[in-house]
A = this chain, B = another copy of it.
Amino acid sequence: MNLQNDLLLKAARGEKTERTPVWLMRQAGRILPEYRAVRSSLSGFIELVKTPELAAEVTIQPVDILGVDAAIIFSDILVIPEAMGLPYEMVEKKGPFFPKTIHTAADVDQLKVANPEDLSYVTEAIKITKKELAGRVPLIGFTGAPWTLMSYMVEGSGSKTFSKARHMLYTQPEVAHKLLQKITDSIIYYVKSQIAAGADLIQIFDSWAGVLPPLQYEEFSLKYIRQICDAIEEVPVTVFAKGAFFALESLGKLNCDTIGLDWNMKVAESRDRIGGAKTLQGNLDPCALYGSFQEIEKATKSMLDEFEGGSHIANLGHGVYPDVDPEKVKCFIQTVKEYSSR
């Protein structure tokens, strides 16, 4: 089906567009009352992820309500560990928790490479979403990066330092590599199945990139992200490695189309480091949306000015925070649309 609005895909490929496309990480869920209404009818977050009709519904909400230029499938990065045999719980206000974690080579051996069929609830949600979107905007599929998924699988939950996961890199590097390869193989099957189901672009989230020293980041994270990028030929790929300022040059050499910037990264300098061949995505501070409408307009315009002269997909520098007023999000989106059409 032809897309009526293909700004995101054009910008990702570095083609000229009549204006800058805009969407928000975490736009599906969190901030919309319409999302909370769907969510409250269920026992929890994971049930919503596993109910394709409802996942599709909350995926489309921000397209209808906020006017973004792309939908991103409502799901979770931790569906992969679960499909590998390591289930998790989502603890309200605390985040993910794994009752069982990975410590030894034997633990890794017991994991399986995820079978896309075990993740058919995601591909089903993609198919429903594509049908209901009817070509209005592209649909983004996504995955966690291998290092980020490994962090949770070893640590068992979120952490300020992820020192247990990093412990394994120093004490059992061969176990870490074995685990990372198994996760990577799982991810490649998974993103391929998302693309087959209709995903128009794949974003890889390396949320915990920022806890690794530069050399370890190359060895334990980039090596595997590279495999994923090399395996995807069908659609554009975006890599968002939060906190990996030290790896921008290496990220620029990946076989991908777009690099996401967080709100700490200076735009001009990042472009120099990444190189001009990539589209950049980002990077307004999510907290800027706490400001007044006037301040949001100003901050958004100033961000667009910074990205001027290179291919750009407007976004925040991190997922939108749960307590942001949807009207403020609309102001951000509207400002991008109007100001970049000049």
Contacts and interface: CB of A to CB of B under 8 A. Distances in A.
A321 interface: yes
A211 to B, nearest CB: 8
Interface in A212-256: 212-214, 216, 243, 245-246
B266 A166 contact: no
Copies of this chain in the oligomer: 2
Contact of A243 (B264, B287, B323): B264
Contacts of A166: 285, 287, 290
Interface stretch (A16-24, A103-111, A113-121, A156-164): A156-164
A287 B246 contact: no
A277 interface: no
A163 B287 CA distance: 7
Given A160-B160, A246-B265, A321-B161, A170 B287 contact: yes
| Central interface residue in A160, A166, A287, A288, by most chain B CB within 10 Å | A287
A171 interface: yes
Given A246-B245, A265-B246, A287 B160 contact: no
Contacts of A243: 210, 243, 264
Nearest to A169: B287
B264 A295 contact: no
| Central interface residue in A213, A243, A246, by most chain B CB within 10 Å | A213
A163 B171 CA distance: 35
A264 B246 contact: yes
A99 interface: no
A29 interface: no
Interface string A275-312: 00000000001111011100100000000000000000
A286 B160 contact: no
A157 to B, nearest CB: 12
Contact of A285 (B216, B265, B287, B295): B216
A263 interface: yes
A309 B2 CA distance: 60
Interface residues of A, number: 33
B295 A170 contact: yes
A36 interface: no
A167 interface: yes
Interface string A161-180: 10100110111000000000
Contacts of A266: 214, 246
B245 A213 contact: no
A144 B26 CA distance: 33
A7 to B, nearest CB: 26
Nearest to A166: B287
B213 A170 contact: no
A270 to B, nearest CB: 10
B245 A290 contact: no
| Central interface residue in A167, A212, A243, A318, by most chain B CB within 10 Å | A167
Interface of A: 158, 160-161, 163, 166-167, 169-171, 210, 212-214, 216, 243, 245-246, 263-266, 285-288, 290-292, 295, 317-318, 321, 323
Given A170-B291, A210-B264, A246-B266, 8 more contacts: A166-B285, A167-B287, A167-B290, A170-B287, A171-B291, A171-B292, A213-B264, A213-B317
